[in-house]
Chains A and B, each alone.
Chain A
Amino acid sequence: MLGRTANGLYWMFRYIERAENIARLIDAGLRMALTRSGSSEEDWDGVLQSAGVREDFDAVHATLTSADAIDFLLRDRANPSSVMSCIDSARNNARMVRTALTRETWEATNECWIELKQLLSKRAKPADMPEIIDVIKRRTGLIRGAFHGTMLRDDIYNFSRIGTFIERADNTARILDVKYYVLLPAIAKVGSSLDNKQWESILRSVSAHRSYSWVYDGDYSPANIADFLILNDRMPRSLAYSYDKIVTNLGYLARLYGESHAAHDTASSTMLLLRSRAMEDIMEQGLHEFIEEFIVYNNRLGEEISEGYRFYR
């Protein structure tokens, strides 16, 4: 496979994953705004930070309003991480690697782009938001379905999966990075309604508010929420789960190509970090430091993969 093709697949799936995650963040933000009485600017500030585009937003807007924040996250092409920008980039990458994709996967991607381009051609009205979020989730879901149902499990599949999970791990880590303070035991006044809302919002932004209740018997506690998002390897958006998938897919590549790279060591040691630590331990040594360190490793892994598999050179 061409190095450029591996690169295109990796980024195509990173962007699809990112589009979906941004939609999820917007959804959580809207929910927060619905359930609180006062101003919601603070919530949107958090959403923009979790999406990693707070500074980009300030470069375009003098003040923060919820309408502008939503528009910026959803359809502003000046924002490379807006849903529309992500879908544009995903489709461009898909076009570039067209020969590596099944017809079904390509068509699902192309149709996603066609529908969203139409749907997001104008600024969205608040009343249309549920429908828009739903279309984004449905369309990206169809791409995933076509991909899983039709693609051969070869290196093409592995690079796509690695892109998906590096992006997912990054997204979940960012949410924790921005919101870690609501999970700190010292500040958290267990049972206060504000905290409950904040925690629920974190869970919502990774679509885990229902599954959490099942796993932890409806018991909201900062340590459990952090555990779910970081260490629980059955939770599909957790860091541990993502790294499990990354290590597996990198392992297939190593066997197929008969060589391994620095990326393999980095991925394995990061997974080990997630498997060997207990949540109390992490909390004690500093949740924030842990997350920041993780983000650094995750970025490094991305670079090592692009280096090892000759994405650019």
Chain B
Amino acid sequence: MMNAVSNPRQPYENYHEWYEGQDRARLIAKSKEAENLFRKTGITFAVYGHEDSSEKLIPFDIIPRIISGREWRKLAQGIEQRVIALNAFLDDIYHKQEIIKAGRIPRELIERNEAFLPQMIGFKPPGGVYTHIVGTDIVRTGEDQFYVLEDNARTPSGVSYMLENRETMMQMFPELFHINKVRPVEDYPKLLRQSLASLAPPGCSGKPRVAVLTPGIFNSAYYEHAFLADMMGVELVEGSDLRVVDGKVKMRTTRGYEAIDVLYRRVDDDFLDPLTFRPDSALGIPGIMDVYRAGNITIANAPGTGISDDKAIYSYMPEIVEFYTGRKAMLENVPTWRCSEEDSLKYVLEHLSELVVKEVHGSGGYGMLVGPTASRKECAAFAEKLKARPSNYIAQPTLSLSTVPIMVNKGIAPRHVDLRPYVLVSDKVQIIPGGLTRVALKEGSLVVNSSQGGGTKDTWVLED
């Protein structure tokens, strides 16, 4: 919130003035009120492996993270460039593979990757769109320095928190929205529905019918699936509701089977179609891939998009962006060592205590090592894992992430954050002004994942 000389940074000026006039006890009471509101609404997520507390609240911090219009425009341009490149890259590797032929990416990195689906080769999804919804993870390290951490092009989650956080803030502090011009995020469900419907498959006649596919109530993001279906006004379906009938994917209703044209699936590729992928999947729909290839359903995001946000591919993103857009990437990549390469592995093992080491296919902050905060024993144990399967890991330097203020019992204190703006792709790219700010609630911590004790806060993009 503050600049180097302890004055509020420009976007925070109005907020800061308001904050100075507030009674701290009242703000702390408001924090509690927010928590009760979330619990009552049932905005929870499930933590795998916790038997007793299978449903948790993500802690919510009442101090908004504020981004100026100028900062946002710069970010948005960079994100748009990256998302366009991601789609071009996917189209290329499933068709002509020019980027491989040009020697910019090793062939085996693509073709031996589990996220690469041979079933998608030669197939063009409706509208040529692969990544209908993207959630780009971004961190800030300096006034004008942003890095992309991950591209999240499969099924990015968390957008319900973006919406509920804003709703909660507007309910609790309506006056703040009079003194600040905050760009709205609440159109997201409407835009999402329009965006999905605009990419109906060729076989759809009439008004496209959209549905959200969830693995079910025990999935960690179930609340979000139900929330989005409800806000969009579309059916929330499970694999067991769907079946292929007469070449269409249909859902079992109280009056018989009815066709679905666009499926926003929140189920991983592996589980989508037991006839094509994992045969033991009970979450998917047998035969949906045939319907897809015949042009009778749109699957969002397209199967096989995971290859584009794979951590092993990530380090090639600067080349990928330049290859497809003809311009240098506007947003920077975090320097990344691929442990599969001998020199890199050597460097990583020698500098473990300075680096963050992640599993190539991991997510949710599991199975990673944060060198600077790990004990010597933890580093040594991790080195063994690393040596056993080097190609399973990448390493990055620990960035000096920006901090924003959060509310603690003694007042406010700085904590590290990241930012996940949400992007919708159809015949245009729409970036919702705002996003999900995740905050590492533990002092000094750099891990923002909700499964590891992270929280969230409302994210404001100002109109200026």
Chain A interfacial positions (CB closer than 8 Å to B): 1-4, 6, 92, 95-96, 98-99, 103, 106-107, 110-111, 114, 155, 159, 253, 257, 259, 309-310, 313
A3 to B254, CA, bound (A): 5
Residues from 187 to 235 in B contacting A, C-beta threshold 8 Å? 216-217, 222, 226, 229-230, 235
Task: Please state if A310 and B42 are interface contacts (CB–CB under 8 Å).
Answer: no
**CB within 8 A of B226: which of A2, A99, A259?**
A99
* A155 B254 Cβ-Cβ under 8 A: yes
Question: Is B35 interfacial (CB 8 A cutoff)?
Answer: no
Q: List 12 A-B contacts (CB under 8 A).
A: A2-B237, A2-B241, A2-B252, A2-B253, A6-B254, A92-B217, A98-B230, A106-B42, A107-B42, A257-B254, A309-B254, A310-B256
Q: How many inter-chain contacts with C-beta < 8 Å in the A-B complex?
A: 56
- Measured between alpha carbons, how far is A95 from B226 in the docked complex, in Å? 8
**Do the beta carbons of B252 and A4 come within 8 Å of each other?**
yes
Taken together as a complex, chains A and B put the C-alpha atoms of A103 and B227 apart, in Å, by 11
Minimum Cβ distance to chain A for residue B289 (Å) = 23
B contact set with A: CB distance below 8 Å: 39-42, 216-217, 222, 226, 229-230, 235-238, 240-241, 251-256
Q: Which residues of chain A are near B41, meaning CB under 8 Å? A: 103, 107, 110
Cross-interface CB contact of B217 among A96, A103, A155, A259, cutoff 8 Å: A96
Chain A residues with Cβ below 8 Å from B229 are 99
Please give, as numbers and ranges, the residues of chain A lying within 8 Å of B236 by CB-CB distance: 98-99
For A99, the chain B residues whose CB sits under 8 A away are 226, 229-230, 235-236
- Per DSSP, are chain A's interface residues mostly helix, strand or loop, or mixed? helix
Contact of A4 among B39, B230, B241 (CB under 8 A): B241
**A106 cross-chain contacts in B, Cβ below 8 A:** 42
Cβ of A310 and Cβ of B252 under 8 Å apart? yes
User: Which B residues touch A107, using CB under 8 A?
Assistant: 40-42
Q: How far is the CA of A99 from the CA of B231 in the complex (A)?
A: 9
Contact assessment for A114 and B39 in the assembled complex, using a CB-CB cutoff below 8 Å: yes
B222 close to A95 (CB less than 8 A): yes
How far is B226's CA from A96's CA once the two chains are assembled, in angstroms? 8
A6 to B229 CA separation, bound complex (whole angstroms): 17
Which residues from A are CB-within-8-Å of B222?
95
The answer to whether A3 touches B39 (Cβ under 8 A) is no
**Least distance between B138 CB and chain A CB atoms (Å):** 31
A98 CA / B251 CA spacing, docked (Å): 18
Beta-carbon nearest neighbor of A259 in chain B: B255
A95 and B217 within 8 A (CB): yes
Q: Which of A92, A259, A310 is within 8 Å of B253, CB to CB?
A: A310
Once the chains are docked, how many angstroms separate the CA of A3 from the CA of B251?
9
Given A92-B217, A310-B256, 11 new contacts (CB under 8 A) = A1-B254, A2-B252, A2-B253, A3-B253, A98-B226, A103-B41, A107-B41, A110-B40, A309-B254, A310-B252, A313-B252
**B235–A2 CB distance below 8 A:** yes
Given the complex of chains A and B, what is the CA–CA distance between A107 and B36 in angstroms? 12
Report the separation of the CA atoms of residues A110 and B223 in the bound assembly, to the nearest whole angstrom. Answer: 13
Closest chain A residue, CB of each to CB of B228? A99
Residues from chain A with Cβ under 8 Å of B240 in the complex: 4
Q: Which residues of A contact B39 (CB under 8 A)?
A: 114
In the complex, which residues of chain A have a beta carbon less than 8 angstroms from the beta carbon of B237?
2
Partner of B254, one of A96, A110, A310: A310
Within the assembled complex, what's the spacing in Å between the Cα atoms of A110 and B55?
Answer: 12
**Which A residues are in CB contact (< 8 Å) with B252?**
2-4, 310, 313
Q: Are A95 and B42 in contact (CB under 8 A)?
A: yes
Which partner residue on chain B sits nearest A309 by CB separation? B254
What's the least CB distance linking B231 to chain A, in Å? 9
Chain A residue numbers with a CB within 8 Å of B255 are 257, 259
In the assembly, what is the distance between CA of A257 and CA of B256, in Å?
10
Give the residue of A1, A110, A155, A253 whose beta carbon is less than 8 angstroms from that of B42.
A110
On chain B, the residues within 8 Å of A103 by CB distance are 41
Chain A residues whose C-beta falls within 8 Å of the C-beta of B217 in the assembled complex: 92, 95-96
The minimal Cβ–Cβ distance linking B154 to chain A, given in whole angstroms, is 23
Chain B residues near A96: list those with CB within 8 A. Answer: 216-217
Decide: A2 near B251, CB < 8 A? Known: A95-B226, A99-B230, A310-B256: yes
Assembled-state Cα–Cα distance A159/B255 (Å):
13
Q: B372 CB to closest chain A CB, in angstroms?
A: 40
Complex CA–CA separation, A95 to B229 (angstroms): 13
CB distance from A104 to the nearest CB of B (A): 11
Nearest CB on B from A158, distance (A):
10
Instruction: Pick the residue among A3, A92, A98 that contacts B241 (CB under 8 A).
Output: A3
Task: Name A91's closest neighbour in chain B (CB-CB).
Answer: B42
Expressed in whole angstroms, the Cα–Cα distance for A310 and B235 within the complex equals 16
What is the CA–CA distance of A92 and B222 in the complex, to the nearest angstrom?
Answer: 12
Task: Establish whether residues B254 and A111, one from each chain, have CB atoms under 8 Å apart when the complex forms.
Answer: no
Question: CA separation between A198 and B164, bound complex, in Å?
Answer: 54
When the two chains form the complex, which single residue of A2, A111, A155, A309 contacts B40, counting CB atoms closer than 8 Å? A111
CA gap between A92 and B46 in the complex, in Å: 14
In angstroms, Cα B254 to Cα A159, docked, is: 10
Question: Smallest CB-CB separation from B216: which chain A residue?
Answer: A96
Give A103's nearest chain B residue, CB to CB: B41
Bound form: Cα–Cα A95–B217 in Å: 7
Contacts of A92 on B, CB cut-off 8 Å? 217
A313 to B253, CA, bound (A): 10
Instruction: Please give me the 3 A-B residue pairs with the lowest Cβ-Cβ distance, nearest first.
Output: A98-B226, A309-B254, A99-B230
Docked CA distance A259–B255 (Å): 9
Contacts of A253 in B (CB 8 A): 254
Interface centre among B230, B240, B241, B255 (most CB of A within 10 A): B255
Least Cβ–Cβ distance between B69 and chain A, in angstroms: 33
Q: Which B residue's beta carbon lies closest to that of A159? A: B254
Min CB–CB distance B164 → chain A (angstroms):
12
Q: Output the least CB separation between B168 and chain A (Å).
A: 14
Question: A99–B251 Cα gap in the complex (Å)?
Answer: 16
Q: How far is the CA of A169 from the CA of B229 in the complex (A)?
A: 35
* Minimum distance in angstroms from B451 CB to a CB of chain A: 20
How far, in angstroms, from A310 to B242 measured CA to CA in the complex?
12
CB distance from A89 to the nearest CB of B (A): 12
Whole-angstrom distance between the alpha carbons of A96 and B252 in the complex?
A: 15
* Closest B residue to A6 using CB positions: B254
A98 to B41, CA, bound (A): 11
What's the least CB distance linking B239 to chain A, in Å?
11
Distance in angstroms between the alpha carbons of A95 and B238 in the assembled complex: 13
Separation in Å of the B16 CB from the closest CB of chain A?
A: 35
Q: Complex: how many Å from CA A259 to CA B253?
A: 14
Q: Please name the residue on chain A nearest to B254 by beta carbon.
A: A309
CA separation between A29 and B179, bound complex, in Å?
61
Q: Which of A2, A259, A310 has the most CB of B within 10 A?
A: A2
Distance (Å) between the CB of B228 and the closest chain A CB? Answer: 10
A3 to B256 alpha-carbon distance, docked (Å): 8
